[in-house]
Every structure is written in structure tokens, then in C-alpha cells.
């Protein structure tokens, strides 16, 4: 009986892109911070005039929507930092809260869209 030996070619580990490299370790945590920065930058132009100091008071659900979405972004940062620091048990435990928050985000997002469309039509008299 003949045997065939299989040899693996040893490649040098790439400290940046290889397994357990810099990108592998910090990618998701960095992306969560980037998402938070983009959200803060994107809403910074309109949040003061339209949410904190509006000429016509906005529906209450808009404030709940803003709080829930901010919580969602902060929760994303928390979850990625827990995985990065190897606290997988806490990550999994808090995942159930994330599932509930995600379900709530779907409901409040749809409700806010409908209510704000009615607000724009009947209060602000915007067309279509």
C-alpha cells in the first residue's frame, strides 16, 4: 500500500492582513466606530433645527425613534468591543437584548415613517 505525503507550504504570517493580523482583530470594532461617526456627521446638519429646536413641535414618536436608533448604534459598538476583548459570554447574553431592540426598531421605524408622512402632509403642508 502506497502512501502519499502531503506537505504544507509554510507561508510567513502577514502581521496586517493575515489571520490574527491587525485587520482581523480590529475590523468590526473599527467599522462600528465608523458607522457611529457617519451617523453623527449625517444627522448633525438637521438634528438641531428639526428635533431639538423645531418651529412646529414634532410627534413624540420621533423622539422615541431617535433614542432607539442611538441605542442601536451604541449597542453595536458595545457588542463589537465585547467580542474584541474576548467577553463572548457577555456578548451572547446581551444578544437577546439586541434581538429585542432590533424587533422594536422595525416596529418603531415603520410607525415613525407613517406618522411623519402624515405630519408632513397635514401639519407642514408638504406636497406628496
Q: Please report which confidence band the pLDDT of residue 116 belongs to, taking 50, 70 and 90 as the band edges.
A: very high
Domain housing 46: 22-122
Between residues 7 and 78, the one the model is more confident about: 78
At residue 24, the pLDDT reads 74
Total number of domains in the chain: 1
Distances (CA, A) of 119 to 26, 43, 108, 115, 124: 43, 20, 16, 6, 7
* 7-35 mean pLDDT: 74
pLDDT tops 70 at residue 92: yes
pLDDT score, position 125 = 86
For 65, counting Cβ atoms within 10 Å of its Cβ (0-12 exposed, 13-18 middle, 19+ buried), the class is buried
Q: What percent of the chain lies above the pLDDT cut of 70?
A: 83
- pLDDT at position 124: 87
Asked if the model's pLDDT at residue 93 lies above 80, the reply is yes
- Whole-prediction pTM: 0.77
Structural domain contains residue 66: yes
pLDDT-above-90 percentage for the chain: 68
What average pLDDT does this structure show over 49-69?
A: 93
Is 91 part of a structural domain of the chain? yes
Residue 10 lies in a domain: no
4 falls within a domain: no
Answer yes or no: is 128 within a domain: no
Residue 50 maps to a domain: yes
Amino acid at each position: 500500500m502506497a502512501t502519499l505525503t502531503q506537505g504544507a507550504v509554510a507561508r510567513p504570517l502577514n502581521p496586517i492582513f493575515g489571520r490574527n493580523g491587525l485587520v482581523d482583530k480590529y475590523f468590526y470594532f473599527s467599522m462600528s466606530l465608523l458607522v457611529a461617526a457617519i451617523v453623527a456627521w449625517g444627522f448633525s446638519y438637521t438634528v438641531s433645527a428639526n428635533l431639538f429646536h423645531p418651529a412646529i413641535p414634532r410627534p413624540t414618536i420621533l423622539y422615541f425613534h431617535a433614542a432607539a436608533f442611538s441605542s442601536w448604534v451604541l449597542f453595536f459598538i458595545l457588542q463589537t468591543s465585547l467580542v474584541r476583548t474576548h467577553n463572548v459570554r457577555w456578548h451572547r447574553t446581551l444578544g437577546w437584548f439586541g434581538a429585542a431592540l432590533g424587533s422594536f426598531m422595525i416596529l418603531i421605524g415603520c410607525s415613525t415613517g407613517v406618522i411623519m408622512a402624515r405630519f408632513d402632509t397635514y401639519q407642514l403642508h408638504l406636497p406628496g
